[in-house]
A and B are shown apart, each in its own frame.
Chain A
């Protein structure tokens, strides 16, 4: 199944965007990820689930470049990835959000999201100091893109508010905005729904689906809320104690005995 296909609701899922081959990650004596392979296809929403401590965040950190696996290869868009710094990986088109929100607390929403455009802003410092001319134009172009993101996420009212003063749900939305502003090819979301109530989760799910639908962005997300996972993801990877114990569509995974034993449990009702 490596050619593209069309889902029931009309989205096109393409070839492999990211391929993790036999990834092993160790921290001293602790093996966080043990020989895991899986792929993510273009345009799909891939969920990574598993109990706490399974190594999901570590996996995202590997994709992102914060951790370097001792073994294994990462293939991005058909090319093997050389050891790179996180900022170089960001330049390649991978953006992410963090479980505990890594926003610039002292800066406004607008400024935070503008930093997401950093890699696309090419004018050098000297031009910026002069300001008039290329630097100003570039700033305006990027501002327009950022405004569209703000409009998309409906956060116009908090444009100038320092992010540290915002409630948790809005901070998460701003962080999503910053990741979106980078117009990434692959979007990594680390527990985007954590700490939200039902209404906020619905809003966030809607945004994630909209992003995937309108911009065709490939999304990998770590999530604990099974309802959300079953609802919005195309395929699921299940991890437990650093090993992969399930990989397939939400339905396949839901009925997988190993997954049920380790994580889902059975319906006692």
Chain B
């Protein structure tokens, strides 16, 4: 029995790590939704695009290589150099900020007073557009992302737990790094929004656009900042997932996984995104572990497998029925 407990704990810890990654993705959504009321369908694609760009820069790829080849009949692929990880990251961040600026200038500015649904559709368009550009710029093969982050089983924990419990926990180094980075990011974000003047302006815009305008806050500038930060978060998320399973186009499906997180944690709450992510992450893994285990089979007469695919959504459904604003979101009150 005890070893079942141990396996379960291992599953839970792994779930926590995954959960942190989910949170990271959800965070990007929350930021944008909170400050402009837009649900950014393109968030997942931004993660993908960010990761693609990073790999491309690092490997010295020529952007739009296939297009250039098709038009000019050349056969270029790389510049022939590889850039160090740090530099590539900085350049990639620069690209995301440029992207944020472009989105604001050519998309948001023109749709300022429209219905939220129109803005949502615009982001759907943006998502497809970015996927296409990503493909065109960097090519659709699966790329490996190597930023020098440790991967593979963390031997310290393995041996420690083996000594203590007689069973070595398998926890991936990458997951640990990702979790730490995610936590640092969240803490930095929270401190920034609470204590700095720009952070205050961000909160102000999230609260009331009209009032923010009257105080002299430039909405457009704030939106660029918000999309920039979201882009940065997306980049980090893309990098983490990409390191784990390679940079491929299915990365953009993260968007789907973020939805249950948002429904649990509320669309407008940063702590909600974090806690929601962790609940989903742990919940998924533990649930799977329990319902596929032998004693569950003995007790119930059947086991279930691959429940990870649908558990999160079931949970989200339950929440939608009983608490639509999520654990931390603002209660939706229609004022007459």
Contact = CB atoms under 8 A, between A and B. Distances in A.
The reply, when asked whether chain A contacts chain B directly with Cβ atoms under 8 A, is yes
Interface of A: 64, 66, 85-87, 90-91, 96, 98, 102-107, 111, 114-119, 121, 123, 125, 128-129, 131, 135, 138-139, 142, 178, 182
A131 B211 CA distance: 27
Contacts of B216: 86-87, 90-91, 118-119, 182
Chain B interface mostly: helix
Contacts of A86: 213-214, 216
Contact of B196 (A85, A102, A128, A178): A128
B125 to A, nearest CB: 27
Interface string B202-221: 01100110111111111100
A102 B209 CA distance: 9
Contact of B211 (A85, A102, A111, A128): A102
Given A106-B203, A107-B203, A125 B198 contact: yes
Contact of B195 (A90, A118, A139): A139
A67 to B, nearest CB: 13
A95 B199 CA distance: 21
Nearest to B197: A121
- Identify the 7 closest CB pairs spanning chains A and B, nearest first: A90-B216, A102-B211, A104-B207, A128-B196, A121-B197, A119-B216, A87-B216
Contacts of A102: 208, 210-211, 214
A90 B215 contact: yes
Nearest to B194: A111
Contacts of A105: 207-208
Nearest to A85: B218
15 contacts: A87-B216, A87-B218, A98-B211, A104-B208, A104-B211, A105-B208, A106-B203, A106-B207, A111-B203, A115-B215, A118-B216, A118-B217, A123-B197, A139-B196, A182-B216
B201 interface: yes
Nearest to A188: B214
Given A98-B214, A115-B217, A139-B197, 8 more contacts: A90-B216, A98-B211, A102-B210, A114-B200, A118-B217, A119-B215, A129-B188, A131-B196
Interface string B10-42: 000000000000000000000000000000000
A118 B201 contact: yes
Given A115-B204, A118-B216, A125-B225, A103 B211 contact: yes
B162 interface: no
Contacts of A87: 213, 216-219
B204 A104 contact: yes
A128 B197 contact: yes
Contacts of A128: 192, 196-199
Nearest to B229: A125
A118 B219 CA distance: 13
A107 B204 contact: yes
A245 B197 CA distance: 45
Nearest to B199: A128
Contacts of B195: 131, 139
Nearest to A119: B216
Nearest to A114: B200
A96 B208 CA distance: 15
Contacts of A135: 196-197
Which of A90, A107, A115 lies at the interface centre, i.e. has the most chain B CB atoms within 10 A of its CB?
Answer: A115
Interface in B33-74: none
A121 B201 CA distance: 11
Nearest to A175: B211
B203 A104 contact: yes
A118 B215 contact: yes
A107 B207 contact: yes
Which of B203, B216, B219 lies at the interface centre, i.e. has the most chain A CB atoms within 10 A of its CB?
Answer: B216
A116 B215 CA distance: 6
Contacts of A96: 214
Contacts of B192: 128-129
A171 to B, nearest CB: 12
B209 to A, nearest CB: 10
A125 B225 CA distance: 9
Which of A66, A106, A117, A135 lies at the interface centre, i.e. has the most chain B CB atoms within 10 A of its CB?
Answer: A106
A96 B215 CA distance: 8
Contacts of B225: 125
A117 B215 CA distance: 8
B112 to A, nearest CB: 12
A121 B225 CA distance: 17
B229 to A, nearest CB: 10
Which of A105, A107, A182 lies at the interface centre, i.e. has the most chain B CB atoms within 10 A of its CB?
Answer: A107
Contacts of B201: 115, 118
Contacts of B210: 102
A111 to B, nearest CB: 6
Contacts of A90: 214-216
Nearest to A163: B207
Nearest to A129: B192
Interface string B74-103: 000000000000000000000000000000
A182 B217 CA distance: 12
B227 to A, nearest CB: 14
